């Protein structure tokens, strides 16, 4: 169905956007249709997450709704296994650490070309993501972004990789249909910080993108449940 990349700074609430949190007006993704591939072992930051998304192992995906792995080959195989699963919403959380952890674990090894090797592994993972897309799944890739100031004064928030050399082999933003940028602002009327997703480039950010008329406004709730409804309404012509 669609491939969505969510970029934001650490602590914004990317993982929070997965689950149901009525107190902060987040509907979240339907538990029944969602499987989560977590690259780190940190708990999911919403109430009841252990019950909603019980952890299972990579070789027994049917026993749960969440698996934890930072191994790129294993993640590729997990995603390929999910192609024929009943799950229609696949989340990959903390995606940057696939590269970063692998790089740190192999940094002292001799005779390897880090950027090329990482690029190869990421390419294989995206082959699996493409297979999920062809099978009609929605894939949500949650990742840290880094801000780069452009000559025109705007900020380009890009996928945070492990260095410039890796960027030569991989442009994550070009592999997806939608790029949402997490933006925080202070609502003086409500006297609280509001966290939203930017859906298209504006005068401040130049990297957000989405198909024309998919979203009726530039700023939407940081709620993947809302995003899912818009995706399906758009592509199904509702």
- Give me the domain span that covers residue 156: 2-236
CATH number at residue 112: 3.40.50
Judged against a pLDDT cut of 90, whether residue 232 lies above it is answered with: yes
Domain count, the chain: 1
Stated pTM of the model: 0.93
The pLDDT of residue 113 is 66
Which pLDDT does position 71 carry in this prediction? 94
What is the structure's pLDDT at 153? 83
pLDDT digits (tens, 9 = 90+) for 92-121: 999 999 988 887 887 666 666 667 778 888
Scored b (16 or more CB within 10 A) or e, 7-31 reads: bbeeebbbbbbbbbbeeeebbbbeb
Distance CA 164, CA 198 (A): 25
Mean pLDDT of the chain: 91
Using one digit for the tens of pLDDT, what is the confidence trace for 117-162?
A: 788 888 899 999 999 999 999 999 999 999 888 888 888 888 988 7
Long-range contacts of 155-159 (CB under 8 A, 24+ apart): 155/204, 155/205, 155/206, 156/205, 156/206, 156/207, 157/7, 157/181, 157/205, 157/207, 158/7, 158/207, 159/5, 159/7, 159/96
Using N-to-C axis directions, what is the helix angle for 72-82 and 96-106, rounded to 10°? 150
pLDDT digits (tens, 9 = 90+) for 55-67: 999 999 999 999 9
Neighbours of 113 (CB within 10 A): 11
């Amino acid at each position: 169905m669609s491939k969505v990349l969510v970029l934001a700074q650490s602590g914004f609430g990317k993982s929070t956007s997965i689950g149901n949190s009525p107190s902060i007006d987040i509907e979240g993704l339907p538990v029944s249709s969602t499987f989560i591939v977590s690259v780190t072992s940190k708990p999911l930051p919403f109430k009841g997450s252990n019950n909603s998304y019980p952890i299972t192992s990579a070789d027994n995906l049917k026993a749960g709704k969440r698996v934890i792995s930072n191994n790129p080959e294993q993640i590729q195989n997990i995603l390929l296994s999910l192609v024929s699963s009943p799950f229609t919403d696949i989340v990959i959380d903390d995606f940057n650490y696939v590269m970063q952890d692998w790089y740190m674990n192999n940094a002292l090894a001799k005779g390897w070309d880090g950027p090329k090797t990482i690029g190869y592994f990421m390419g294989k993972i995206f082959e699996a993501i493409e297979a999920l897309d062809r099978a009609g799944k929605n894939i949500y890739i949650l990742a840290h972004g880094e801000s780069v100031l452009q000559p025109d004064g705007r900020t380009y928030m890009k996928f945070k990789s492990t260095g410039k050399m890796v960027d030569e082999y991989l442009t994550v933003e070009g592999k997806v249909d939608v790029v949402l940028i997490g933006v925080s602002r202070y609502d003086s009327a409500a006297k609280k910080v509001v966290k939203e997703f930017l859906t298209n480039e504006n005068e401040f950010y130049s990297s957000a993108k989405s198909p024309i008329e998919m979203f009726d406004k530039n700023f939407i709730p940081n709620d993947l449940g809302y995003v899912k409804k818009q995706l399906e309404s758009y592509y199904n012509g509702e």
